[in-house]
Amino acid sequence: MKGFVMKTLSDAFEHTLQDIYYAENQLVKALPKVEDSANGKKLKSAISEHLKETKGQVKTLEKVFKSIGKKPKGEKCDAIDGLIKETEGIMKEMKGEAKNAALLAACQAVEHYEIARYGTLREWAKVLGQSEAHDLLTEILDQEKAANSKLTNLAVSEINKG
Ligand SMILES: [Fe+2]
Ligand SMILES: [Fe+2]
């Protein structure tokens, strides 16, 4: 946020909302490539299902902006750009079961990032008295948690059989 000093919790909330809106839009672009690159039906289908949810989350975030009287706006988020860049590295440089395990781990890193962000955002929404935003953000948080659990189960049952 160039030239703008954030002072209030409301500023921090709005800024973090813009970050995650940018992040979800970047994920909508990145996930089809990850799906293509993954081996194995189960990982591919987990990614494609979460891509659908992610598109829905973009719409839900637009409702959150509306509920606080703001226009949806993305703010470049270095954290998600870094996570996506790492995933692109895996797609380029790895093969076989190593690639699949690393892609699954990369997807989980993204889910954990999102869980951290939405956990914070929905608590801030509550403190700010934005109950509609709180409920919408909780809806997304629950989807991210479910996506992460699904990936954990897949890692345990399919990938890290050791
Ligand atoms: Fe998401
Ligand atoms: Fe997610």
Q: What would the pLDDT profile of 61-111 be if each residue is shown by its tens digit?
A: 999 999 999 999 999 999 999 999 999 999 999 999 899 999 999 999 999
Domain that holds residue 26: 9-69+76-159
Residue 3 counted as domain residue: no
| 27, burial (CB in 10 Å: exposed 0-12, middle 13-18, buried 19+) | buried
- pTM to 2 decimals? 0.94
Query: What's the confidence (pLDDT) of residue 1?
Result: 54
Task: Look at residue 36 and tell me if it is in a domain.
Answer: yes
Reported as a pLDDT band with limits 50, 70 and 90, residue 160 is: confident
CA–centroid distance, 101 to ligand 2, in Å, is 18
Domain count, the chain: 1
Region for residue 2 given its phi and psi (left: phi exceeds 0; alpha: psi -120 to 50; beta: otherwise): beta
pLDDT tens column, 120-145? 999 999 999 999 999 999 999 999 99
2 in a domain, yes or no?
Answer: no
Expressed in angstroms and rounded, the spacing between residue 86 Cα and the centre of ligand 2 is: 16
- pLDDT for residue 40: 84
DSSP state letter for 40: S
Tell me which ligand sits closest to the C-alpha of residue 28.
1
**List of residues 6+ apart from 110 with CB closer than 8 A:** 27, 80, 83, 87
Separation of CA 56 and ligand 1 centre (Å)? 9
Q: Is residue 33 part of a domain?
A: yes
> Does residue 1 sit within a domain?
no
Helix residue ranges per DSSP H, the chain:
9-37, 41-67, 78-93, 96-127, 131-154
| pLDDT of 162 over the 80 cut | no
Give the CATH number for residue 121: 1.20.1260.10
